[in-house]
Amino acid sequence: MRLLIVDDTALYRKLLTDAASPLSGVEVAGAVSSGPLALARLSAEPIDLVLLDVFMPEMNGPEVLAIIRRDFPKIAVVMISGATGADASITINALANGALDFIPKPQTTSFAEGMTRLRGQLQHVVNMVNLRRINTASAAPRTAPASTPAVTGSAAMSARAVPVPVTPAQPTRRRVLPPATLDILLIGVSTGGPRTLQEMLPGLPADFRLPVVIVQHMPPLFTRTLAEQLDKVCNLRVSEAGDGERVVPGRILIAPGGRHMEIIRDAEGALITRLTDAAPVNSCRPAVDVLFDSASRCALRGAISLILTGMGEDGAAGVATLKAAVPTWSIAQDEATSVIYGMPQAVVRRQLEDEILPLPTIAPRLTELARSRQ
């Protein structure tokens, strides 16, 4: 995987180069200081992944991103973001406009700790891009005979290195109909989430009758910015959840970055949020499994679980726990419309899904379910 680093600060170019160079299967093709230099390199040589700074002179990150998406649509772009409100706002917009993910710039005072964390984040990005390439290769139409490889080049090498899972057989046990009564909509999402949520959530009408609670894998500050931006385009009120907040219809609550979010019953029996600093689950905090596990203990009459695009398997175990305890209608986003078909695929592999839906149809289906089952 050939990697291009784009950052106007020499220090960060060196840090990113030093962090990425030892990664297996990665070649740092170059490190440039501006958008125009980056675009010239992309025109001159093959690049698979661009690490793109948010703020730069001449052309800022989003401006460069727009040109890459237009002229080099197969190249993955990951934003490199600071930890200010302005950085977060621009980064969330970049994610909504085609960036695959983002990496926060190191904030620790320990160089060794910062480098270790940065290298881990870059390894995650490399794994994610490889998975995306494999998913793309496996989804491509196959017109050649079975004995002839249908994918060639670097994508084929990646596909051989990591076998593509076989779609499991249809489960022997599924819900025939959604629960007669529904109390809540629980959503888990990760990579590709901001763009996916921005497309899906505005489709829920103002009279949507279920509370909506979301875990989006994202660091502190960024979840608040995401909620603020979604609130501007949604018919329902969207906010980052606080501790002890009521879970009620008309509200969409997003778990704050860096904290687990649970739902519990208060002394009056109402659903409220509880935030904790417990250890990460599935290397995530907040974790989808934590939210779904907590919902399974709330004596719900019925629930909808929705697992959207994302890397890894967070949410699959939670869906299983929820379905075992509560009448649950499980929806998974389909592969074709997922940025990364990891989390939804984990649900499908376990045969936990009741429906697999493309992104454009999810909000109408949720609206239909909410209106017909109260």
Q: 28-42, pLDDT tens digit by residue?
A: 999 999 999 999 999
Catalytic site residue from 81, 217, 289, 354:
217
* pLDDT value for 108: 62
* pLDDT value for 358: 97
Confidence of residue 83 (pLDDT cuts 50, 70, 90): low
Instruction: Taking the CA atoms of 246, 326, 334 and 208 in sequence, report the sign of the dihedral they define.
Output: negative
- Which residue did the predictor score with more confidence, 270 or 112? 270
Is the pLDDT confidence value at 262 over 70?
A: yes
- Say if 2-137 and 184-372 have the same CATH topology: yes
Share of the chain above pLDDT 70, in %: 87
Task: Sketch the domain layout of the chain as residue ranges.
Answer: 2-137, 184-372
The C-alpha R_g of the chain, in whole angstroms, comes to 21
Question: Is 260 annotated as catalytic?
Answer: no
Task: Print the SS3 string covering the chain.
Answer: CEEEEECCCHHHHHHHHHHHCCCCCCEEEEEECCHHHHHHHHHHCCCCEEEEECCCCCCCHHHHHHHHHHHCCCCEEEEEECCCHHHHHHHHHHHHCCCCEEEECCCCCCHHHHHHHHHHHHHHHHHHHHHHHHHHHHHCCCCCCCCCCCCCHHHHHHHHHCCCCCCCCCCCCCCCCCCCCCCEEEEEECCCHHHHHHHHHHHCCCCCCCCEEEEECCCCCHHHHHHHHHHHHCCCEEEECCCCCECCCCEEEECCCCCEEEEEECCCCCEEEEEECCCCECCECCCHHHHHHHHCCCCCCCEEEEECCECCCCCHHHHHHHHHHCCEEEEEECCCCCCCECHHHHHHHCCCCCEEECHHHHHHHHHHHHHHCC
Catalytic site residue from 183, 314, 334, 354:
314
Is the pLDDT confidence value at 171 over 60?
A: no
* pLDDT value for 244: 97
Question: Is 217 annotated as catalytic?
Answer: yes
* pLDDT value for 141: 52
Question: Is 314 annotated as catalytic?
Answer: yes
Confidence of residue 130 (pLDDT cuts 50, 70, 90): confident
pTM of the prediction? Answer: 0.84
Is the pLDDT confidence value at 43 over 50?
A: yes
184-372 has CATH 3.40.50.180 classification: yes
2-137 has CATH 3.30.450.20 classification: no
Confidence of residue 131 (pLDDT cuts 50, 70, 90): confident
* pLDDT value for 374: 60
* pLDDT value for 191: 94
The least confident of 25-34, 117-126, 329-338 is 117-126
Catalytic site residue from 190, 294, 296, 305:
190
Mean pLDDT, the chain, whole residue set: 88
Other CB atoms within a 10 A radius of the CB of residue 46 amount to: 11
* pLDDT value for 198: 96
* pLDDT value for 372: 82
- Which residue did the predictor score with more confidence, 135 or 323? 323
Residue 187 pairs in a beta bridge with 214, 306
Is the pLDDT confidence value at 175 over 90?
A: no
* pLDDT value for 161: 33
